[in-house]
A and B are shown apart, each in its own frame.
Chain A
Amino acid sequence: MSVLTRPSAPLDRSRIGRLQGKARYAPTLATVGLFVAMFAIGAAMYPGFLSGQVFLNLLIDNTFLIVLAVGMTFVILTGGIDLSVGSVVALSMMIAAALLQAGWNPFAVILLVLLTGATFGLAMGLVIQVFEIQPFIVTLAGLFLARGLCYVISVESITVTDPFFTSMAQARIPLVGKLFVSPGVVIALLVVAVAFYLLHQTRFGRTVYAIGGGESSAVLMGLAVPRTKVLVYGISGVCSAIAGILFSFYSLSGYSLAATGLELDAIAAVVVGGTLLTGGYGYVLGSLAGVLVLGIVQTFISYEGTLSSWWTRIVIGALLLAFILLQKLFTRKVRLT
């Protein structure tokens, strides 16, 4: 045989591998670090910034975005994308508002909205999987479809007067001291916890990562790839519906133009949170941190007072760019070694 013999013992690369295993967390840790740094800067610049309630308000104001980002994380981990989430949020709000106006039981309404979101997501997942169409295009169609359906329900804004919804809007869950959160925060954090469990403790979750790492490999390894890919969009649909309900709690209305462009905020949060758009790398806790970073940018702008709220967008844009560049560096390093 003419293959060359290696004179020395095979190189033990395991230690490097372990280090690289840790490097996987680098983008996510960077986001957490950024958040802490921004909070510290805010505390130094503005009196009253350094308070538990400012932090909790970040959660309270962004419950729906947290839930959306969670659903989006699943999709992006498989290497896909879901552009429909903003529209599905609006559709969920419209369905809820219209049915509540018609005098439905609020719990029946919530159940129906969740079912609608799940069906919508699963349907898109099926189209993507069965016809092998780009997720981008399928969910773009979903975006238009859901937005259009909102107008079918009502062109006007519908106010929600249901006692359960209004009580949820006003409820304050007291914590230590004068600190409090809204029920929405509890729900959103619960969603994060369930997602974390699904991704790290179930075969379904590991298959999500495997698909992102290499779909054809995952198929050859005998994993349930088609089912997982469809389910991922179903999860994103359910998350959109939950986000819609949380948004309803927050705004007490349904409006066809609500949540426009929210899908982009969700994607931005996921990417800033360290998830690779090509799939396979990322954490749901990173996405939570991503939402908080976007939220704190907004808080900054409002504390500054003199700046137009559009500065939020500019800063988020810059952050997004910075994080994508960071990821590029990260992946290049992995490939080199």
Chain B
Amino acid sequence: MSETVPVVDMQGISIAFPGVRALDGVDFRLFPGEVHALLGENGAGKSTLIKALTGVYAIDGGTITVLGTRQSFGTPAEAQAAGISTVYQEVNLCPNLSVEENILLGREPRRRGGIHWRDVRRRAQEVLEQLQLGHIDPRSILSSHSIAIQQLVAIARAMQVDARVLILDEPTSSLDADEVQQLFSVIRTLRDRGVAILFVSHFLEQVYEVSDRMTVLRNGRLVGEYLTRDLPRMGLISKMIGKELDALAELEEAESRRHPDRTQEVPFLRAEGLGRKGSVRDVTVTVHAGEILGLAGLLGSGRTETARLLFGADRADQGQLSIGGTSRTLRTPRAAIDRGIAFSSENRKEEGLIGDLSVRDNLILAMQAGKGWWRRVPRATQDKLAERFIKALDIRPSSKDSLIRDLSGGNQQKVLLARWLITDPKLLILDEPTRGIDIGAKTQIQKLISSLAADGMSVVFISAELEEVLRLSDHIAVLKDRQMVADIPNDGVTMEDVMTVIAGTTP
């Protein structure tokens, strides 16, 4: 990495939203041929900075210089024209169109008489092959592919423009290890070609693996710019969180959970051979009061499907379910809620939160639904509850009137969690509650889950991160190919043990 002229030079960038100062005088430089990681906790301003650079948000102060020219991008198209391409955290492609179109949309090669479709296919094929994705049929419809593949198609699109700057916002949050390596090899190829890459990830291992330089933000302010090799991991974390290392060590410390003795009591929930055609089968689990059941398995192994069965979001057509010792059939989520089961979904954007409502309104939703819509929760109670949970879960910004869409991912997740906690459930099903959020918030949420269990709440915990499942769960149900294959009590089980079960050929 040479100290040449930066491709992107942002100076003193400020952006304010109603009630929130999202960025405050942040400087940021990006050099050609480097992978630059942008780091910070949720709400530190990473996404905002990226959106300022790509023309999604207008800046209130500061200057952006790209390739020596002062720029003020009004639209993403202008930023793209200046050589800045972005792959966002949530795949922003058109699911209804083919892979090839998604790669070339808006830049389709034309000849006299319209789009040159053969050329479209050839170019799409070319860029896919560069990414070692030659096995993807460019004519297939995007929605037929997994999120991971869609993500790679988004990168293929970004590369197709011959971008000078490639911004990757959480590109790895839905990829498995192989896919991550594939992505990294692509990133390195691009870097060696002189592309400047801005990489945002919550996975610090990945940051250390792939980045050359990093910029750390905290609460909308610049903490500093460092060479990756000069800043050890603990140093980085303390800069991100803004706490001293010993305080951090306490945070990081694994929860030493006391596994409750459960043989005596009637389990809160017991499923026997529960299943649904086309969804998942053979789910046999027992959850006692105060117990945490972890669901482990690969992406697409049926974790979410299991949660949906337990919640009645999908109706089981095989097996039995009993709640509190009585046999039940959950036909609707409402029936589950009435029995004290709450489900915090994986997809907070689409299935959980309502972005245009305030934090308070979102918090109160489930409680209000439980009471019935004609018995309105009094405003004073709403305010009191909102304030209590904002404080308890450290939701930022701490105003109960902020709109959900202005909150960062981690804070949105906390709101979603708080919404169900308000209803005081007996069993809380959490599907990927820590996905795409930073260590600080992750640790907070993990701690919260343990303390809830200690208070007697049962929890079903789903996470793609096996480490997390192992740390929290009392026992672990392993899913494989949409079938439950094992129930392992968590006493000294290692990650390798669980991996062996997952990889094993005999169910």
Contacts and interface: CB of A to CB of B under 8 A. Distances in A.
Interface of A: 1-7, 10-18, 20-21, 24, 197, 200-203, 206-207, 209-210, 212-214, 216-224, 280-281, 334-337
Nearest to B98: A21
- List the 8 closest pairs (A to B, CB-CB), nearest first: A17-B140, A201-B114, A213-B94, A17-B144, A14-B137, A222-B77, A213-B96, A280-B96
Contacts of B148: 10
Contacts of B205: 1
Interface stretch (B4-12, B61-69, B85-93, B185-193): B85-93
Interface string B435-476: 000000000000000000000000000001111100000000
Contacts, number: 154
A18 B139 CA distance: 6
Given A1-B203, A14-B135, A221-B106, A209 B97 contact: yes
Contacts of B92: 214, 216-217, 220-221
Given A13-B144, A21-B139, A212-B96, A206 B101 contact: yes
Contacts of B261: none
Given A5-B178, A202-B115, A280-B94, A336 B278 contact: yes
A1 B495 CA distance: 11
Given A5-B176, A202-B115, 20 more contacts: A3-B177, A4-B177, A4-B466, A4-B499, A5-B177, A7-B502, A10-B179, A13-B149, A17-B145, A18-B137, A20-B143, A21-B98, A197-B114, A201-B114, A206-B115, A220-B56, A222-B77, A280-B94, A336-B278, A337-B144
Nearest to A211: B94
Interface in B130-151: 135-137, 139-141, 143-146, 148-149
Given A2-B466, A220-B86, A221-B157, A214 B94 contact: yes
Contact of B135 (A6, A12, A197, A224): A12
A264 to B, nearest CB: 25
Given A4-B502, A20-B144, A197-B114, A210 B94 contact: yes
A5 B301 CA distance: 13
Interface residues of B, number: 62
A209 B298 CA distance: 34
Contact of B76 (A17, A24, A221): A221
A202 B175 CA distance: 34
Summarize A's interface: helix, strand, loop or mixed.
helix
A18 to B, nearest CB: 5
Interface in B199-238: 203, 205-206
Interface string B168-179: 000010011111
Nearest to B205: A1
A30 B86 CA distance: 40
Interface string B287-302: 0000000001111000
A201 B115 contact: yes
A2 B466 CA distance: 6
Contacts of B467: 2
A20 B502 CA distance: 30
B266 interface: no
A6 B298 contact: yes
B105 interface: yes
A16 B95 contact: no
